Amino acid sequence: MRILLAEDDDDMRCFLERALQRAGYDVYSARDGDEAYARLREEPFSLLLTDIVMPGMNGVELARKGTRLDPDLRVMFITGFAAVALDGSNDAPAHAKVLSKPFHLRDLVREVGRMLEYA
């Protein structure tokens, strides 16, 4: 199971990447939506784990473009702005999961496991 993590906060990105790797996932990280989208165009991933508010391409746009490339791509938003992700006017993928900051790492690992259970 390959996870692409898009998070513009360096400390948060490293923290999440390490936690997911310790849980046994193959994790690749990107500093922003543009870098993540370039990676999605190059290779397949099972899950896109993305912040919503990032410079350049935001997480919702990244998720939309990523699921156009691969309709089976699962999406989880990690954000302090859950209302933005849940706003029906933003065209976020219908089956995307939202995990609101702050969250426990065990909650993140559990939710990722659930999303990838049937991948």
Q: pLDDT value at position 31? A: 96
- What's the Cα-to-Cα distance from 73 to each of 83, 102, 110, rounded to whole Å? 22, 25, 18
Q: What is the mean pLDDT of residues 8-32?
A: 95
Residue 107 belongs to some domain of the structure:
yes
R_g (Cα) of the chain, nearest Å: 13
Q: pLDDT value at position 88? A: 54
Residue 7 belongs to some domain of the structure:
yes
pLDDT in tens, 57-107: 999 999 999 999 999 999 999 887 655 555 554 566 767 888 887 888 999
Identify the domain containing residue 58 by its residue range.
Answer: 2-114
Q: Is residue 49 over pLDDT 80? A: yes
Q: How many domains does the chain have?
A: 1
Q: pLDDT value at position 118? A: 67
Element (H, E) at 85: helix 82-86
Q: How many residues can be counted in the chain?
A: 119
Q: pLDDT value at position 79? A: 80
| Contact assessment for residue 16 and residue 23, using Cβ atoms and an 8 Å cutoff | no
Residue 119 belongs to some domain of the structure:
no
